[in-house]
Structure 1
Amino acid sequence: MSIQRRALLGAGLAAAALPFARVEAAAPFVGRGAPAWYRFRFGDYEVTVVSDGALPLGKAEDSFVGAGPGEVNAMMRAALLDPANALLEQNAVILNTGRHLILFDTGMGDSMGAASQMFGPTTGRLLRNMRAAGIDPAQIDFVVLSHAHCDHCWALVDAQGNRNFPNAQVAISEADLAYWTNDANIRGPAFMEPFIRGAQKNLNAYRDRMVMVRDGAEVVPGVTAISAPGHTVGHTIYAIASGPRVLVYTGDLAHHHILLLQRPLLEFSFDTDPKVSAQTRARLLERFATDQPQVLSYHFPWPGLGNVVKAGQGYAWVPAPMDVTSLG
């Protein structure tokens, strides 16, 4: 037994010997937490981060590949994380510019029935958390997609195919729209067929109101698309500017705040082109560490807001302090 543990146990036994009044807690466990949303001001804008719930990947070494034997597990343990349960967050962003109310990515939803729970029952919570945050989905006038994977676009419609955002246009790269709605791409890994079918159902429902994003061009005033290919063919991140301040919504540029920052050239098993994805990630992380915009990552620990800094041969994630002025 360590010295620290012996000391703690000794202190506990000494305290137990003192007389005390018997107190019993009769209240039952509640069994659920608060709705997950977080709101803060960014320049002239208001940003609300809304959780779609946790997305468990299972064994880290099955999804993050390219390291030596045991390296991924060692990196997870060094960060006090369970290598057998790589857990990602899903941080959707709602930006109110005063002119537009923009949702960046939609989460998993329930549009594809049982397939919507391919990662378990903890996803698909975006709409209820939006409403808890005081935002009606009908208020959204733009849904801006980083890409067309299931956890980013499958809540565009409900299980019956009805639009969840009836007044919204949908912005996506032309390359991703073409790729993920094409039957010819149903090949390779088993997940490709449900990914294609889900993208078809969700994206085709908005075909009459699509906006194609272009690298370096504004989607709406203050929001600029930045091509970041590899995770998908048309994966796009977005720079949100208000005055001199810049916040970059990075989508799936990096899925894990430890593994893919410390080792940017590791590969992720759901990447369409893992080599291109790794090079894109390394290039943009270097840019973020140099220019120091704030970063909001879809999959980093809640609420996904912070900065990227240089650390050794890689990078580290520095979470932003919570904006206490936004709390009720």
Structure 2
Amino acid sequence: MSAFSRRALLGAASAGFAASLLPGLSARAAAPFQNTLPPAWHRFRIGEFEATIVSDGTLPLGKPEPAFPASPPEEIRALLTGNFLDPGAATLEQNALILNTGKQLILFDTGMGESMGAASKMFGPTTGRLLANMRAAGIQPEQIDLVILTHAHCDHCWALVDAEGKRNFPNAQVAISETDLKFWTDSGNKKGPEFMTSFIDGATKNLGAYRDRMIMVKDGQPVVPGIVALSTPGHTFGHMCYAITSGGTTVVNTGDLAHHQILLLRKPLWEFSFDSDPKLSAQSRARMLDRLAKDEHLILSYHFPWPGLGHVKREGEGYGWYPAPTNVTAL
């Protein structure tokens, strides 16, 4: 068929569609764009426990090279483009876990919050949505009995209080490693990278509001029945993962063991700019990823693509990330 014939056919089809409209009716513009997202929460079971993941929103890092300063830029770009990701912008999720054990309602990490004013938006306007998403999932902040922190960075503890310093979780205790509590509330550690000052001021404000209701977690010890702390130092000196076990099922909440599902799994020894001790962090990551791959436990990663659930598998010098089908784990 010639180009002219194709054009004629298309024109005739268009004319036929217009003629098919009912008398007195005309084609209307499409419905307006909504430009909003639904509340982000996902519910599933861990044995006898009910688990709900709620989002604190996306956390954009911008260009990935500054976040991985010791890594070859060409390798960063190749890994991202090879996995259909934008090489010019790295975006992380923030997946907070709420666990109902039947006896307690436990929140792991709090997201960025609004306690530090403009500093709370250092990564842009898309963070700080945990409380709204909790409520959308039918969970009220005052119902939380215990907040367990993987570590005391801004995107994990700055929503313990509001802008006025009032506790967002008025009935909760807070569990954290003693190492992180001491380090991130010590003004003498305001040195090194520029972000350290705001990180320490924010941790001091948020953790200080709960100083009379703290639980110190220890490596290999239960925080409460069914939840065991696993020391993985380096990202912060007191960073913890948590193994959650019920009814013969174990899920490991890995916190910030690895921030990116491609860059830090394919290259687990790469260093990340927000690590307190990048080399120690890489060693902890390699050790724990090896254990997780061998045990084949489901893991929840705070910063991996929503909702952060999946498995890791040894592949070459690194690991592959295999997201869990959400319909398999749903109630």
Q: Same fold (TM over 0.5)?
A: yes
| Matched residue SS, 2:255 | coil
User: Percent of counterpart pairs with the same letter?
Assistant: 64
Aligned pairs, how many?
A: 317
Amino acid at match of 2:315: A
Distance 1:17 1:242, change over 3 A: farther
1:187 counterpart residue number: 191
From 95, 104, 113, the equivalent of 1:109 is 113
2:22 counterpart residue number: none
1:292 aligns with 2:288: no
Within-5 A mapping of 1:222-233:
222-233=226-237
For residues 130-151 of structure 1, give each alpha carbon's deviation from its aligned partner in whole angstroms, at most 9, with x where no partner exists: 0000000000000000000000
- Bigger radius of gyration, 1 or 2? 2
CA-CA distance at 1:64 after TM superposition: 1.7
1:75 counterpart residue number: 79
1:268 counterpart residue number: 272
1:66 aligns with 2:70: yes
Distance 1:262 1:137, change over 3 A: same
CA–CA distance in 2 between the matches of 1:12 and 1:142?
A: 68
2:132 counterpart residue number: 128
RMSD of aligned Cα (Å): 1.8
CA–CA distance in 2 between the matches of 1:68 and 1:16?
A: 54
Q: Is the 8 A contact 2:45 2:329 kept in 1?
A: no
For residues 70-94 of structure 1, give each alpha carbon's deviation from its aligned partner in whole angstroms, at most 9, with x where no partner exists: 1111111111111221000000000
For residues 57-76 of structure 1, give each alpha carbon's deviation from its aligned partner in whole angstroms, at most 9, with x where no partner exists: 01111102332241111111
CA-CA distance at 1:18 after TM superposition: 3.5
2:31 counterpart residue number: 27
Q: Is the 8 A contact 2:180 2:237 kept in 1?
A: yes
1:221 aligns with 2:225: yes
Q: Is the 8 A contact 2:65 2:73 kept in 1?
A: no
Amino acid at match of 1:286: D
Q: Is the 8 A contact 1:65 1:266 kept in 2?
A: no
Distance 1:14 1:225, change over 3 A: farther
CA-CA distance at 1:14 after TM superposition: 7.7
2:246 counterpart residue number: 242
2:181 counterpart residue number: 177
TM-score normalised according to structure 2 size: 0.92
CA–CA distance in 1 between the matches of 2:84 and 2:300?
A: 23
Amino acid at match of 1:32: T
CA–CA distance in 2 between the matches of 1:27 and 1:38?
A: 29
Gaps of 5+ in 1: 1-10
CA–CA distance in 2 between the matches of 1:141 and 1:56?
A: 31
Moved more, 34-43 or 266-275: 34-43
| Matched residue SS, 1:323 | helix
For residues 142-163 of structure 1, give each alpha carbon's deviation from its aligned partner in whole angstroms, at most 9, with x where no partner exists: 0000000000000000000000
Amino acid at match of 2:85: L
| Matched residue SS, 1:303 | coil
TM-score normalised according to structure 1 size: 0.93
CA–CA distance in 1 between the matches of 2:188 and 2:54?
A: 34
Gaps of 5+ in 2: 1-5, 19-26
CA–CA distance in 2 between the matches of 1:227 and 1:18?
A: 67
CA–CA distance in 2 between the matches of 1:16 and 1:169?
A: 70
